[in-house]
Amino acid sequence: MPVSFIVLAAGMGTRMNSDLPKVLHKVASAPLLHHALAAARSLEPARIVVVTGHGAAEVSASANAFDEACECVVQDPQLGTAHAVGMAAPLLDQMDGDAIVLYGDTPFIRPETIDAMLHARARHSVVVLGFQARDPGRYGRLIAEGENLQKIVEYKDASDEERAVTLCNSGVLCASAKLMFELISQVKNTNASGEYYLTDLPELARAQGLSAGVVICDESETLGVNTRAQLAEAEAAFQARARTEALENGVTLTAPETVFFALDTHVGRDAIIGPNVLFGPAVTIESGAEIKGFCHLEGCHISRGAQVGPFARLRPGAELAEDVHVGNFVEIKNSILDEGVKVGHLTYIGDADIGEFTNIGAGTVTCNYDGVMKHRTRIGKRAFIGSDTMLVAPVKVGDDALTASGSVITQDVPTEALAIGRAPQVNKAGLASKLMARLKAIKAAKGKA
């Protein structure tokens, strides 16, 4: 049976105190919304509908950047969670199969938990995800016996007895798409908030003789972000989990608590990650690669046997083939380094292709930007780029070619040629001591004056 998701992301997030819509704030280098969408997508759904409102244009652009297949609807004004889900009715009310409601600001629901809810649907028409809250605060309370759910009571509408219940509503809810929208059309706003509550659905289902059930997950999965403090908590929770997973997957982390992963970081078995390494979006590290301390990596691919750092910066489009060595204070952007290339020290490589086993000397710069346009540098195989070479792109250096240290290379270098692009050296006999004597005399004369 197909599954559809409805991701609620219309809220303003007042307590973030921000111009940015709440669901676009980032955890693990990815907007909160992408975390919810990633969980949804891992169940291979037929449709994903995102309900936007505040910052609708930005939020839908972000949803589509994650996956073009996301469909976005705008909820304006925002009259409550049932009203929000109702916005998806024109797209989904004829869908076969189940619909699942997720919140865009609740990033940690596990796919396994959603799967457990889908299984519980065999026993119940409406399934709600609950959790035992350490501090139930203002969460909606689940009034249940075992896994049978009687109703959900919002905190504002709850009696003292109901407020004493610690089983709380996560907000995640599942029913057949057809039933979900039929029940939503019956929801009234006669409650303490004057809103249309999605939480009325279990009671409405029971009124039709249908059954409602609860699936319970750990509270950590339902962590919602409403404030900057909770955003920081969510980051810490994500990183703690990502570090544990990396260690379990056979990655060595010398100082796990100092390594920061992104939502989409992939690190292969037997990779070694040193202290203080930060992974931005879209990084893949193959098995057996080593990232030494203090590296900053984003949008790059590092192959088996490669060594990077310490103190290296790899930016989007950096592709390192097997056994490449990148050393300290090296920055690489939008460049392909073939097998065995060595870039040891103090170098900028941007918009370049470097052939296998080429050695790039310390202080080399690909001068890729003329102030208006970017240009490419192409270096062949087994070339040797002398220290402090400026490669003024567009420029090509052939296979087995050499550039002399300190050269400014403005013309292509043919295969096997040695290019010298620097002023010839002149030695003036005895001039050094004469010059020194003169400078000392000037200084002494000044001291007297």
Q: Whole-angstrom Cα distance, residue 12 to residue 22?
A: 6
Helix (H, G, I), strand (E, B) or coil at 307: strand
Exposure pattern of 128-152 as b/e (b: 16+ CB <10 Å)? bbbbebeebeebbbbbbeebebebb
Q: Which stretch binds ligand UD1 (CB under 6 A): 165-173, 311-319, 353-361, 406-414?
A: 165-173
Distance between start and end Cα atoms, the chain: 97
Q: Which stretch binds ligand UD1 (CB under 6 A): 98-106, 375-383, 384-392, 411-419?
A: 98-106
Spatial contact of 275 and 258, defined as CB atoms under 8 Å apart:
yes
For residue 408, report the phi and psi dihedrals to the nearest 5 degrees. Answer: -105, 110
Tokens of 319: 């592709």
Selected from 78, 113, 334, 407, the binder of ligand UD1 by CB under 6 A is 78
Selected from 3, 48, 70, 84, the binder of ligand UD1 by CB under 6 A is 84
Nearer to ligand UD1, 199 or 335 (CB): 199
Footprint on residues 268-327 left by ligand UD1 (CB under 6 A): none
**Residue-level length of the chain:** 449
Task: State the minimum distance, in angstroms, from the CB of residue 200 to ligand UD1.
Answer: 8
DSSP secondary-structure letter at 236? H
Helix (H) or strand (E) holding 169: strand 167-176
* Pattern 415-444, ligand UD1, x by CB under 6 A: ------------------------------
83 in contact with ligand UD1 (CB under 6 A): yes
Footprint on residues 173-202 left by ligand UD1 (CB under 6 A): 197-199
Q: Which stretch binds ligand UD1 (CB under 6 A): 81-89, 178-186, 256-264, 304-312?
A: 81-89
221 in contact with ligand UD1 (CB under 6 A): no
Nearer to ligand UD1, 154 or 323 (CB): 154
Footprint on residues 198-217 left by ligand UD1 (CB under 6 A): 198-199
Give the active site residues: 345
Task: State the minimum distance, in angstroms, from the CB of residue 168 to ligand UD1.
Answer: 5
Tokens of 256: 């796990």
Q: How many residues sit close enough to ligand UD1 to count as binding (CB under 6 A)? A: 27
Residue owning tokens 């909770």: 230
Task: State the minimum distance, in angstroms, from the CB of residue 195 to ligand UD1.
Answer: 6
Selected from 168, 215, 259, 360, the binder of ligand UD1 by CB under 6 A is 168
Tokens of 372: 């208006």
Tokens of 19: 């111009």
Footprint on residues 27-56 left by ligand UD1 (CB under 6 A): 51, 53
* Pattern 100-139, ligand UD1, x by CB under 6 A: ---xxx---------------------------------x
Spatial contact of 361 and 386, defined as CB atoms under 8 Å apart:
yes
* Cα angle 259, 262, 267; round to 5: 70
Q: Whole-angstrom Cα distance, residue 195 to residue 187?
A: 10
Helix (H, G, I), strand (E, B) or coil at 302: strand
In 3-state terms the chain splits into helix, strand, coil percentages (rounded to 5) of: 25, 30, 45
Selected from 4, 5, 6, 8, the binder of ligand UD1 by CB under 6 A is 8
Footprint on residues 222-251 left by ligand UD1 (CB under 6 A): 224
Tokens of 127: 């399934």
Task: State the minimum distance, in angstroms, from the CB of residue 231 to ligand UD1.
Answer: 14
Task: State the minimum distance, in angstroms, from the CB of residue 112 to ligand UD1.
Answer: 20
Q: Which stretch binds ligand UD1 (CB under 6 A): 73-81, 315-323, 341-349, 366-374?
A: 73-81
Q: Whole-angstrom Cα distance, residue 442 to residue 171?
A: 82
Spatial contact of 184 and 201, defined as CB atoms under 8 Å apart:
yes
Selected from 107, 140, 213, 293, the binder of ligand UD1 by CB under 6 A is 140
Could you list the residues that contact ligand UD1 (CB under 6 A)?
8, 10-11, 51, 53, 75, 78-81, 83-84, 103-105, 139-140, 152, 154, 168-171, 197-199, 224
